[in-house]
Amino acid sequence: AQKVTQAQTEISVVEKEDVTLDCVYETRDTTYYLFWYKQPPSGELVFLIRRNSFDEQNEISGRYSWNFQKSTSSFNFTITASQVVDSAVYFCALSDPYSSASKIIFGSGTRLSIRP
Partner 1 sequence: ETGVTQSPTHLIKTRGQQVTLRCSSQSGHNTVSWYQQALGQGPQFIFQYYREEENGRGNFPPRFSGLQFPNYSSELNVNALELDDSALYLCASSETDRNQETQYFGPGTRLLVL
Cβ–Cβ under 8 Å, residues 63 and 111: no
Q: Which of 52, 58, 69, 83 binds partner 1 (CB under 8 A)?
A: 52
Q: At closest approach, how far in Å is the CB of 111 from partner 1? A: 9
Span interacting with partner 1, options 13-21, 45-53, 55-63, 68-76, rule CB under 8 A: 45-53
Contact between residue 64 and residue 77 where contact means Cβ atoms under 8 Å apart: yes
Residue 37 binds to partner 1 (criterion: CB under 8 A)? yes
109 binds partner 1 (CB under 8 A): yes
Under rule CB under 8 A, residue 75 binds partner 1: no
The torsion angle over the Cα atoms of residues 45, 75, 93 and 47, rounded to 10 degrees, is 30
User: What phi-psi label fits residue 45: left (phi over 0), alpha (psi between -120 and 50 degrees) or beta?
Assistant: beta
Q: Which is nearer to partner 1, 37 or 68 (CB)?
A: 37
As a whole number of Å, the CA-based R_g of the chain is 14
Among 30, 54, 102, 116, indicate the residue that binds partner 1 (CB under 8 A): 102
CA distances from 88 to 3, 61, 72, 106 (A): 22, 18, 26, 16
Residue numbers at the binding site for partner 1 (CB under 8 A):
4, 32-33, 35, 37, 42-47, 50, 52, 91, 93, 95-97, 99-109
